[in-house]
């Protein structure tokens, strides 16, 4: 890759910056390099369970300081922006998701309600059958259906676990309705990232660990792409894929060697 053409960087977090609560090698050095070079960057994640403030705090605990909330782009944040653009304040919204997502939606002026006009589904580590049941009833009754992201799995220290996409699939199966998706690989996430950075797609790099979301979505949006093999995608899956990233690295240290 020709890193001299890069004017801005978007990076995934789970599987790139950390795995679970463990910071991955090269993460601190990557942020330091971007700051030293004055390159705008955004940390973008499909995980909607936490708010940007939560992620700023988590990065700080890992030794990555000075990150602003507006540099954190979650599928939850993109979802809230969509709600604000398409629904009036006070619209009742039913949420399957973490406290971070619920708080963001409430702070944006929407009413969290079991009798809602809109159903938003994201990752929920406290998922119950009753939550799925209520979401199904509302959507079957005419409520709009929005999914934060379609990740089937979520990387944890002890392996891959069901992601938001798995929960959304359950609701979709029960309702026969496909959701409007916000996160990667869908365009709303990448449009928001480019607007945040103020860069054009051709000179913006996406660093990710998933072919099906980070890389495929970024390539469709016109960004340059770098895959690190520290998250979901394995070398065997990469070799079997018809779509290939612009660069492939075992981890961030190897990417930094070329970037630096």
Report domain 3-46+184-259's class: alpha beta
Q: Do domains 3-46+184-259 and 87-181 have the same CATH topology?
A: yes
The closest alpha carbon to 167, from 123, 101, 102, 114, belongs to 123
Name the DSSP class of 213: I
Q: Is 14 a residue of the active site?
A: yes
Structure tokens at 65: 């300081």
Per annotation, catalytic residue among 12, 144, 151, 216: 12
Q: Strand 92-96 vs strand 144-147: parallel, antiparallel, or unpaired?
A: unpaired
For residue range 65-123, what is the model confidence (pLDDT) as tens digits? Answer: 999 999 999 999 999 999 999 999 999 999 999 998 999 999 999 999 999 999 999 99
The closest alpha carbon to 172, from 141, 151, 147, belongs to 147
Place of tokens 């090698």: 25
Q: What ranges do the domains of the chain cover? A: 3-46+184-259, 87-181
For residue range 205-229, what is the model confidence (pLDDT) as tens digits? Answer: 999 999 999 999 999 999 999 999 9
Report domain 87-181's class: alpha beta
Q: Is 200 a residue of the active site?
A: no
């Amino acid at each position: 890759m020709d890193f001299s053409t890069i004017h801005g960087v978007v990076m995934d977090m789970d599987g790139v910056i950390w795995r679970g609560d463990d910071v991955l090698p090269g993460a601190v050095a990557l942020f330091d390099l971007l700051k030293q070079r004055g390159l705008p960057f955004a940390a973008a994640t499909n995980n909607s369970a936490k708010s940007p403030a939560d992620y700023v705090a988590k990065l700080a605990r890992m030794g990555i300081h000075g990150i602003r909330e507006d540099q954190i782009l979650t599928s939850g944040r993109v979802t809230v922006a969509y709600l604000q653009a398409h629904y009036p304040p006070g619209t009742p919204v039913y949420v399957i998701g973490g406290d971070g997502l619920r708080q963001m939606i409430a702070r944006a002026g929407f009413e969290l309600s079991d009798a809602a006009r809109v159903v938003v589904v994201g990752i929920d580590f406290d998922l119950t059958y009753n939550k799925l049941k209520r979401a199904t009833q509302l959507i079957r009754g005419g409520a709009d259906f929005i999914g934060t992201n379609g990740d089937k799995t979520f990387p944890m220290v002890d392996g891959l676990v069901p992601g938001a996409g798995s929960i959304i699939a359950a609701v979709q199966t029960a309702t026969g309705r496909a959701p409007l998706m916000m996160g990667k690989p869908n365009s709303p996430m990448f449009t928001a990232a480019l607007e945040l950075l103020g860069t054009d797609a051709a000179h913006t790099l996406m660093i990710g660990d998933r072919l099906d979301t980070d890389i495929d979505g970024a390539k469709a949006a016109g960004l340059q792409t770098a895959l690190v093999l520290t998250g979901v995608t394995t070398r065997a899956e990469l070799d079997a894929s018809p779509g290939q990233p612009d660069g492939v690295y075992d981890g961030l240290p190897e990417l930094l060697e070329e970037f630096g």
